[in-house]
């Protein structure tokens, strides 16, 4: 999916989608109002702020962190997040010994309930092809240097398990409350291409 040119679309694709939606609606197979709601949900109800709350809670509450690492689906649902592409979650924790990073080399699998829909780069051939073979070089391009003595562990989402990286809590953050901490957590940190 390298040809993601995001300038003005050709009217061809716009008309084709209109044609298909109208035909499917006439056949009773889709409801345009439901489509509006689906889009609204994925534009506003889910996104990385969800995952950031999960991470911040794990940083503040050791018992929650233990539950998250043991059964991420249930722990994430405790905070109210669940559903499509997150039915079988695993949380992987960054430590001084291991840095985790997630990909779907075969398509674009991604934990929607905690991170929303994936960015174009995550779905692109350069990321999908290179992160498994040369993760350290890719992470450098993202601005992250992983020390040689830290293991880089790449998780390829080749089945229905969806992965959430729990970044390391930043130093000098002891005084911060959960909301402040959540604001530090980025989507890239929860994919594993950033430190936090």
Partner 1 sequence: MSAMADVTFERIAAAIEAGASTRRPDAKVAQRFRPGDRVRVRNQHPWHHTRATRYARGKTGEIVTAHGVFVFPDSNSQWRGEDPQHVYTVRFTARELWGDEAAPNDSLCLDFWEPYLEPA
Partner 2 sequence: MDGIHDMGGMHGFGAIEREENEPVFHHDWEKRVFGISLQAADSVGFCDDQLRRSIERVPPEIYLTSSYYELWLASMEAIFEEKGVLTRGEIERRVEELKQGERDG
Helix residue spans in 89-151 (DSSP H):
112-115, 125-133, 135-141
- Decide: is 13 part of the binding site for partner 2 (CB under 8 A): yes
60 is catalytic: no
Contact 166, 192 (CB under 8 A): no
Contact segment (CB under 8 A) with partner 2 among 40-48, 60-68, 88-96, 172-180 equals 40-48
Q: Does 96 bind partner 1 (CB under 8 A)?
A: no
129 is a contact residue toward partner 2 (CB under 8 A): yes
Tell me if residue 166 falls in helix, strand or coil: strand
In whole angstroms, give the CA distance from residue 188 to residue 50.
13
Would residue 11 show up in a list of annotated catalytic residues for this protein? no
Per DSSP (E only), the strands in 21-158 are: 89-93, 98-103, 151-156
Total residues interacting with partner 2, rule: CB under 8 A = 57
Binding partner of 152, given partner 1, partner 2, none, CB within 5-8 angstroms per partner class: partner 1
In the set 79, 93, 121, 176, which binds partner 2 (CB under 8 A)? 121
Does residue 113 bind partner 2 (CB under 8 A)? no
108 among known catalytic residues: yes
Any bridge partners for residue 165, and if so which? 92
For the chain, how many residues are written? 196
Partner interacting with residue 51 (select from partner 1, partner 2, none; CB below 5-8 Å by kind): none
Q: Write out the catalytic residue numbers.
A: 104, 107-109
């Amino acid at each position: 999916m390298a040809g993601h040119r995001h300038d003005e679309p050709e009217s061809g694709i716009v008309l084709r989608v209109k044609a298909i939606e109208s035909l499917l609606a006439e056949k009773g197979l889709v409801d345009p109002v439901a489509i509006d709601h689906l889009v609204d949900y994925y534009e506003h109800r889910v996104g990385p702020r969800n995952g950031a709350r999960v991470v911040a809670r794990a940083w503040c509450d050791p018992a929650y962190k233990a539950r998250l690492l043991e059964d991420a689906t249930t722990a994430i649902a405790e905070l109210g997040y669940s559903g499509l592409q997150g039915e079988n979650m695993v949380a992987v924790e960054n430590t001084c010994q291991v840095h985790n990073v997630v990909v779907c080399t075969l398509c674009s699998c991604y934990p929607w309930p905690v991170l929303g829909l994936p960015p174009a780069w995550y779905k692109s051939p350069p990321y999908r092809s290179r992160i498994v073979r040369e993760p350290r070089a890719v992470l450098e391009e993202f601005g992250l240097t992983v020390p040689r003595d830290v293991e880089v562990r790449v998780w390829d989402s080749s089945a229905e398990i969806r992965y959430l990286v729990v970044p390391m809590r930043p130093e000098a953050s002891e005084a911060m409350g959960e909301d402040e901490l959540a604001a530090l957590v980025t989507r890239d940190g929860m994919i594993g291409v950033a430190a936090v």
